[in-house]
Structure 1
Amino acid sequence: MATTQGMSGIDVRSVTYELCGKLPLWIDKIYQFETRTLGIRLNGEEHAKFLLLIEAGRRVHLVKNFPTPPKNPPQFAMFLRKYLSGGKVLAIRQHGLERILIFDIGKGTLTYRLIIELFDEGNVILTDESYRIIKPLRHHRFKDRDIVPDAIYALSVTDPTGSLENLAITLAGDDRDLVRALAISCMLGGTYAEYVCRTAGIDKAMPALKADPGLLFKALTSLFDKVQHHVHPILSGTSCEPVILTPEPGSPSNETNRFSGFSEALEAFYPMTKAEKVRVASKPKFSDVEKIRKYQESAIKKFDEKIKKTEEIVAAIYENYQFVVHLISSLDTASKRLSWQEIEHHLRDTSSADAKRIVTFYPDEAAVEVDIGKKVKIFVHESIEQNAGRYYDIIKKFKKKKEGALRAMKTVKTKKKTIHRTIVPMKKLWYHRFRWFVTSDNIVVLGGRDASQNEELVKKYMAGGDLFVHADVHGASVVIVKGKTERMDEVAQFAASYSGAWRSGHFSADVYSALPTQVSKTPESGEFVSRGSFIVRGERTYYRDVPLAIGIGLILEPQAAVIGGPSSVIHSRTKIFAELKPGQFEPNDVAKKVLRILRQNVSPDEEKLLKGILNTDSVAAFVPPGGSDISGMK
């Protein structure tokens, strides 16, 4: 489901299918509104016009209107216009279930690919037909790929959800429980992973390698069919979904709104971009009284229209008195000996002019809709006066509403204007699932939460320019420093605090660092290296008697988040802060205590806005394993 952080792979699949339904399309003009926000004006058949909004790393969908573009188009927008304007969209596709959308665009004898990345910080990349990068929106070099001109854009080889065979191989090689394997390895996310387990009738907690891939693939296929062919979007306070998933027994529904298409729901769900806000700010402003009056005037107008329409229906009933009486009598009699299906079949086959005036049958209500100049629903077990009475009740209801609105217009009072603070949640980055902090000189430091993450950090994310750090005790997080830092004191405290030393109640520990080339999984002859452990060969750099302490704090600007790490770092970056040291209280109790401290230091209005950010889980993520005491706060 789409959240404020961005769209999921399932959401991308639904939007992709929606866009494919518009083909053939031609690229008209390309705009760039902000650093990561672009717009493409598309032309379809029979003079159809579509506007595609792209916010790299977050969303892509159709919109009704674009923000006002800058007077001088940015360089990247001009570059894309040069290559793509006038080109024909040959295909629109998603790569597997990844958050990657690819447009194949033909222009002349050449074919280009416009690749839209919606994961992490996102990107928009133009390549040739062989995926050689011509120009990206953002240049970037990663451990396993480069997003720079002339590099080859690499896509993953297999799609875990693409076939039964692929799914079976993926599950067989995953040692996690089923729901986590589906959520992470198959890129379904938590909500859809649980839905697939429920649909397949399989316990989500069972090991993934023991699950029946046939039942799961059938449930996956059913889910894909729903989000492509049976879209019924809903919008709640925290998410936007392309379909209504079957809720678990006893769970409340979050549905609040329905939309005709998923793009329409996404446009309503996502906050405006800065460019859109500027555009809105330039519009005429009305006072609170003027806004209320305009709303009331609009409501009264609608009430008048409804009253007029209903009065015309009543007039039509009595103008066709004989026909309506005969219709009621005939259908009431027929329904006593025939089913409604038989009655409908008989009347559809007859050439009677009166029968042809019946537009729709409602068997469950014993009613029909007839065309008597107005389309009117007639209940056949009620008299003509009772049928007319139903519409008189509607007239009375809207007249009463109109009277209430008129009274309210006379008593409108201005409300004291309150200024609401805007709180923007920190964007979820790829490394936030590990333990992490940023040093005082802005270097990212990562730590494993368990043996599995220790393995992943070393095998997947440790690069040549990094540094391997570990507490010199049994049972400690693998810590990776992503670059060169002058603050190894902060890194050492991070490594020491998230180690067995804390659990054992020690107040200091020794820590060492080594180069990536010194770290290996290959043991000496006759030895064994367990999961999450490594062999470090050669000389190490030691940091002796490192004090154990962790700070947990709340930042509100520029983005709101709970952060944790070495006390000195967190103390310098937050106004609301608690310091932990080894002690007697269990991790869950400590998390609740820290949460209370953080909440006591924000206003009630801020606490409401921080509901999805400031919670026990976000605090517990930074609490070390073992007993703790709160030794300081501010």
Structure 2
Amino acid sequence: MANEQGMSGMDVRALTAELSALLPLWIGKIYQYDAKTLGIRLNGNEGAKYQFLVETGRRAHLVRALPESPKNPLGYAMFLRKHLEGGRVTAIGQYGLQRIFYIDVAKKVGILRLVVELFDEGNAILLDEAGVITKPLWHHRFKDRAVVPGEVYAFPEGTDCSGFDSESFAAMLRASDRDLVRTLAVNCLLGGAYAELVCSLAGVDKSIPAAEADAGAVYAALHQVVAMVEGQRKAVITESGCWPIQGMGVEKQAFSTYNQALEEYYPLQTATEIKAEEKRPKLSKEEVIRRQQEEALKKFGKKIKRAEKAVEAVYTNYPLVQDIIATLDRVSQNLSWQEIEEVLKKSDLPAAKKVVAVHPADAAVDLDLGGVRVKVFVRENVEANLEHYYDQIKKFKKKTEGAMAAMERGAAQPKEKPKEVLHFMKKKWFHRFRWFYTTDGTLVLGGRDASQNEELVKKYMEGKDTFVHADVHGGSVVIVKGETEHMDDEVAQFAASYSNAWKAGHFSADVYFARPDQVSKTAESGEFVARGGFIVRGERRYAKDVQLGVAIGVQKEPSVAIIGGPVAAVRARTGYVVELSPGTFEPNDVAKKVQRALKEKVGEENWKRLRTVLNTEAIAAFVPPGGSDIVGGHEG
């Protein structure tokens, strides 16, 4: 049953069965509307056109019309267009009964697979012909799998009975200590309603122990339900949700296809429908504001409770948390976080099993403390970690008081139409260094001075990182925190641009790459190593004649901030960009010129809302040392 939270595994089976019947198909344009929603135009035989909407983590189905496409295509849509557009869809299928489906697309390089996850936060992942991740919509590292480029795609842990033979199915029932309906709901990923349907068709009491059930009858009933969903669909919407088959409740509306039912159940406003909506009676401004305030109060209350539970869980497990922090802090001095994650997966120690997720960029882990998920930073003690949650509680209590006071005063009269909510980027530990994210999502850090160069190598360089430096005297030490396909373009440009090559007025420079074990402060006899400098021994790999260039722009998604770095990496994350090249103007003057240029690009109205982040101090942090010119001669 599809409900407001999303689709079940059986719903995904019905969806893929309907889509498979439309083959052959070809991939047309691909769009990205926000951080989770994609649109794909599909072309069929005899001029047939289909519009496919995907909201990762929730739903996927055909629609009559896709939303209006963004003026500036977002990064993941551009990536998928490059790899999939024009390709022939050879298969559409599902992984067992999991809430995961795939679209196989034939291109010259082979069969590429787009995997869509409809559970939890959701994801979209492009795989190569060998099943290796080329690029996901979101990078995630979990305890049991990593969804990052270069890793073989792995499924989440869990049993799925759809592929069992009769003997394996019977063994699963015998091994269960639950009643029959709960065993089917959990072990076979059916959910409660479909599990009850299987019990009914099998003629078996759902409440009997699974081990005592007639395994043959239940097995046959399970496959009968799957066959109904695959080939005997009669889609309906009931009070409880959207179903691909009848008989699951009092029907409110019936449909000829499940995709039509899903589109009705998950309404989508097209541009035409929005205009029609504008003619209908609307809520008063006061009522809209009141509802917004009520929703805000609910959210604040949930966040306060979540933080309070985290504090209580940490205090209840204080010695354990203290031990985990101390151990991981010590181990991370010698191992990369990827290596630590592998060690944790293989460990049978109770403390290791408490770690359910690893966040390398934050030097943090998520702990499962008695069913409460708590994020702890391993370079901070327990009290400092608790302080983060106390700060959250204070912040949301203050917001709650403000919202309640506003409700008591009555809704204020807004002077203009409601605008999109802007989420400003929160300060992170690495923001004091030079930094950027590559187009494929890898964090890259650079030192601003000799002291930071020392700190980056001694404290933050780990086993599988890459050490990068321009082949000139003086410049940022650059540390690449993981793997990326953009070493020779984006990373190399970053290292070359924030070096003395820029200050000297050069337009290109050579850059070299080395492993962490090649980098040392230990000098040989007769050698001298200055502060911020290092000796690199052994063979290095070079990128020659790297063009210098820096872009500075205003990022709006997923959070608002000034970002800067290599031109391609910055352009992938914002439509408002100013490019710099080595030139004549001093850094402070350049920062002011960039601010004026960006203000002109974003427009006066947006500028008023963005001025808190679009300041010269934030811009100056990304301006290279030495003279610069704005590419194109923009003087603001």
Question: TM-score if structure 2 supplies the norm length?
Answer: 0.49
Per the normalisation by structure 1, the TM-score is 0.49
Larger Rg: 1
